Chains A and B, each alone.
Chain A
Amino acid sequence: MGARGSHSAVPPDADSIRRETGFSQASLLRLYHRFQALDRDNKGYLSRMDLQQIGALAVNPLGDRIIESFFPDGNHQVDFAGFARVLAHFRPVDEEDPGMQDPKQPEPLNSRMNKLRFAFQLYDLDRDGKISRNEMLQVLRLMVGVQVTEEQLESIADRTVQEADIDGDGAVSFMEFTKSLEKMNIEQKMSIRILK
């Protein structure tokens, strides 16, 4: 895609990003254009404010957390590699036979496990590897309208934790989380078609 205009055509480190994320050349280029479009001041990285300018995220109940997920480890900036890395989780799963892949290579970012891990991080804000009842309650509160009373929310949160909690520690670990969602078609739920 010969791009005109003031933006540079090819992302830096395109090859290593491609290897890590598995995007096709065309998709990567499109992502780069999008990255540049979001990066209004041409800084070369995105800050939280840039992402907050996306209007639709403002009316997404989980908007803040989604934005937060782009900034792992408390950074305040995300470069294109990080941006692509996060979005790579939503790449549709390849149809190829997984047995063909090199078993020594790390799991691709869009594997089922990694998708689940990404979703898990939305709950687990303090990164302790467990979703406590309080964290569950917070997420629930975000997603539910104002008509629901606190008691109802608390009991729902209790129930949610209780259903998933196998070892009885009052929190949901990642394995328990995975287990509770084993029947769900995560690959389809967390894939964005255009990222192929």
Chain B
Amino acid sequence: MAPLMLLPPGPGSCRLLLLLLALASSEAASDSNESANSTAQDAPSARLAASSREPAERISVFELDYSYVQVPYEVTLWILLASLAKIGFHLYRRLPHLMPESCLLILVGVLVGSVIFGTDHKSPPVMDSSIYFLYLLPPIVLESGYFMPTRPFFENLGSILWWAGLGALINAFGIGLSLYLVCQVQAFGLGDLHLLQNLLFGSLISAVDPVAALAVFEEARVNEQLYMMIFGEALLNDGISVVLYNILIAFTKMHKFEDIEPVDILAGCARFIVVGCGGVFFGIIFGFISAFITRFTQNISAIEPLIVFMFSYLSYLAAETLYLSGILAITACAVTMKKYVEENVSQTSYTTIKYFMKMLSSVSETLIFIFMGVSTIGKNHEWNWAFICFTLVFCQIWRAISVFALFYVSNQFRTFPFSFKDQCIIFYSGVRGAGSFSLAFLLPLSLFPRKKLFVTATLVVIYFTVFIQGITIGPLVRYLDVRKTNKKESINEELHIRLMDHLKAGMEDVCGQWSHYQVRDKFKKFDHKYLRKILIRKNLPKSSIVSLYKKLEMKQAIEMVETGILSPAAFSALQQAQRTQETKRLSPEDVESMRDILTHNLYQVRQRTLSYNKYNLKPQSSEKQAKEILIRRQNTLRESLREGRRLPWGPQAGAKNVRYLSFPYGKQQAWRRNTGATEATDDDSSEPGLPSITFSARPQLGSLRESWLAREVIPMKSLPQGTMTLPFHDSRDPGLGRRAVVRPRPLFLALDEEFESREESDEEASTLRSRWTVERGHSREHGQSHSPLLRRK
């Protein structure tokens, strides 16, 4: 298969393409273009051949050789076009609410497809079996595995496996069998499709891609468990359907004439299990290996992302070698690796990993969708009304059956059963996506003479579900989740409602998560005792979160005080403010403006639902809010201490509470650690005066609550005594000195996006810098006196 295609001769198509690309190409070039192209078979050798054939030719000043770059050029253009479309999509604020991003990608694909079709151009060979399975699929799966919130996933693991696994099986076999029955009807002209083919089609069409649904749920603040179920399904579904697909293809190859024995069926089932579990096993092994390796990469942090990606990819390939499920392997690898890698790896590496992962998966998905659009507009279709309509119908019916049946059963065992509304939402979120299309497109033509029919049917189902279901699921969720929005709420009510929401969220946090204690606790104990010792770098202070907190607060506090928001003057002025006891008559406009102020400025209640966006990593406003709240509390407490006012809860909190009140200490500690850190790292911090306060960003999924809880459960008892106390005591305990090198490991706030942007803003940065270099000087002396901390060797 020649990687390069010949451009059909003719200036028209060349010029059209060039115009489209907005390239300025001189008229003179087109002639040389043609001559160059007509002789080009394999570009490099052709060039030599061409030049050697006509040695007497003048050296041309300007040449054009399109076929040399055609494939990468067009692929890049596709990606770029899709990216531009996405930019436009997000610029127009209302669009993302109306339709999912996959719609957009498909439309771009259709556009590109029509251009290609219209100009009679042959599209680049983006999609073929090996390219898809080896290059396009792994990044997508890796990304979903990596960004998956592990804790809710494992808590709901039973339900998710039950639902995803059995659901896929029921759907696949149900649709396959029903279609087979339809095919038996002679009138439809489908008699030559035998059972295996139908089953195979069923398995590939049952692969659900509910990313569109997830985007909607994020907006509608759906029940956390529901979200997790759908997420888990999205994650596992690809894997399961590919496994089924491969097994059935193997069947089809073996038994072309439908003489399948029960032994084979049993073997198929066994193989299914082996493939699935084997894949997961491989993934876990590779995950541990890569976590282990990242333990040693302090000095060469630039290759950390490389290690992460290469090992994940390797797990995929290794599993595929043994015909195990590469998808499940790479997912398991990502999940295992994430926890330890996050702690070992430097912040910049961590950010790099995240962004690169998103980028890769986005590119893959874009290419697949565009290719889908391209192949929609083409001559390789076969339309058969019966097959296609029945496919659509059966897809919906079987999904409904599987949802309601499976959830009915699992509800008997759940503490908090899913309501009928939830089940409707799950049913409706069965949107098909790129996975199905790829599998259909890659059906071997030899085994499937009527492949075009399958492809067409798949495309129809995808278009239908993505456009119609994708667009209407938003309104549906909002409709089902109707809260009585009483527009005429008084200000009073609004305030009290918000207070109660905060109160409830706070109490929920006090209650914590109630999960299956024993298994989780056992795993956590095992993890702490053995795994973390092996896999996580030494010298990583567990109280790094405290120092992080300090740094964060301090920087923010400085900024806020400087911008005059939280000046002490404001607070004291309040107390001298006159209190007018007369009730003022307020006009309705005043009330309205009050309401507006409240709506925009009241702090949001902490969201319990996870927020996953497949296409983007957005800094959340909740972090900004959290920062603000923390700073204000810090400030208030500091103020009250400074003025000698007794805190409402007395002096007890003063001395021992490391977290909030030890401001001066914290500064020292932070400084010392910073000097240690900046010397130790080889991060290219171009301003050595500026301590590296780049916090590695927690994946945007994790709500703050989750990260705090994750941190919280580390038994503080296991830390050596005196860890949490202040560095002034370090001189007594030299053992603490080893924990000098700090990489603030923030399972806490994800602020780097905002921080980096802030750091780049001119005035703030310069004032900060000057302040810090000054103060760094001071702290250096202090640092020297408590020398053990700087000993790193």
Contacts and interface: CB of A to CB of B under 8 A. Distances in A.
Nearest to B626: A59
B597 interface: yes
B53 interface: no
Contact of A150 (B511, B574, B601): B574
B497 interface: yes
B629 A48 contact: no
Contacts of A125: 648
Nearest to B549: A58
Contacts of A41: 717
Nearest to B502: A62
Interface stretch (A11-19, A98-106, A132-140): A132-140
Nearest to A90: B507
Interface string A21-64: 00000000011011001101100000111011111111111111
Contacts of A139: 495, 499
Interface string A152-191: 1011101110111000101000000000110110100111
A58 B503 CA distance: 13
Interface in B535-591: 560, 565-566, 570, 573-574, 577, 579-581, 583-584, 586, 590-591
Interface string B502-524: 11111111111010011001000
11 contacts: A38-B510, A52-B657, A54-B512, A54-B712, A55-B709, A62-B503, A66-B507, A71-B649, A76-B652, A143-B602, A155-B590
Most buried by A among B506, B560, B590: B506
B492 interface: yes
Question: Mostly helix, strand, loop or mixed at chain B's interface?
Answer: helix
Given A30-B514, A51-B510, A59 B499 contact: no
A119 interface: yes
A190 B708 contact: no
A192 interface: yes
Contacts of B496: 119, 180-181, 184
Contacts of B499: 62, 119, 122-123, 139, 143
Contact of B502 (A34, A60, A159): A60
A190 B501 CA distance: 8
Contacts of B713: 37
A58 B629 CA distance: 8
- Report, as a range, how many residues of chain A touch the other chain: 35 or more
Contact of A155 (B502, B594, B656): B594
Contact of A37 (B509, B512, B629): B512
Most buried by B among A58, A66, A123, A160: A58
Counting from the closest, the 4 A-B pairs by CB-CB distance are A55-B708, A59-B626, A56-B509, A66-B506
A180 B495 CA distance: 11
Given A37-B512, A148-B601, A159-B586, A58 B577 contact: no
Contacts of A159: 491, 586, 590-591, 594
Contacts of B656: 49
Contacts of B511: 31, 34, 87, 192, 194-195
Interface of B: 416, 486, 490-493, 495-512, 514, 517-518, 521, 560, 565-566, 570, 573-574, 577, 579-581, 583-584, 586, 590-591, 594, 597-598, 601-603, 606, 625-626, 628-630, 632-633, 648-650, 652-653, 656-657, 659-660, 704-705, 707-709, 711-713, 715-717, 748
B323 to A, nearest CB: 41
A176 to B, nearest CB: 10
A48 B653 contact: yes
A168 to B, nearest CB: 8
B597 A170 contact: no
A96 B629 CA distance: 41
A119 B712 CA distance: 27
Most buried by A among B509, B586, B704, B709: B509
Interface in A71-126: 71, 76, 87, 90, 119, 122-123, 125
A56 B705 contact: yes
A164 B492 contact: yes
A76 B650 contact: yes
Nearest to A47: B652
B504 A192 contact: yes
Contacts of B717: 40-41
A40 B574 CA distance: 39
B591 A194 contact: no
A190 to B, nearest CB: 6
B517 A180 contact: no
Contacts of B491: 156, 159-160, 163
Interface in A2-18: 3-5
A163 B506 contact: no
Contacts of A148: 597, 601
A141 B248 CA distance: 64
Given A63-B633, A122-B503, A143-B602, 13 more contacts: A34-B510, A55-B712, A56-B705, A60-B502, A62-B499, A90-B504, A144-B597, A145-B625, A150-B574, A156-B491, A160-B495, A192-B507, A193-B416
A110 B625 CA distance: 31
Contacts of A49: 652-653, 656-657
Given A62-B499, A162-B583, A4 B493 contact: no
Contact of A54 (B497, B509, B707): B509
Contacts of B657: 49, 52
B705 A55 contact: yes
A51 B649 CA distance: 13
A1 to B, nearest CB: 8
Contacts of B628: 145-146
Nearest to B598: A156
Contacts of B584: 155, 158, 162
Contacts of A37: 512, 713
B632 A150 contact: no
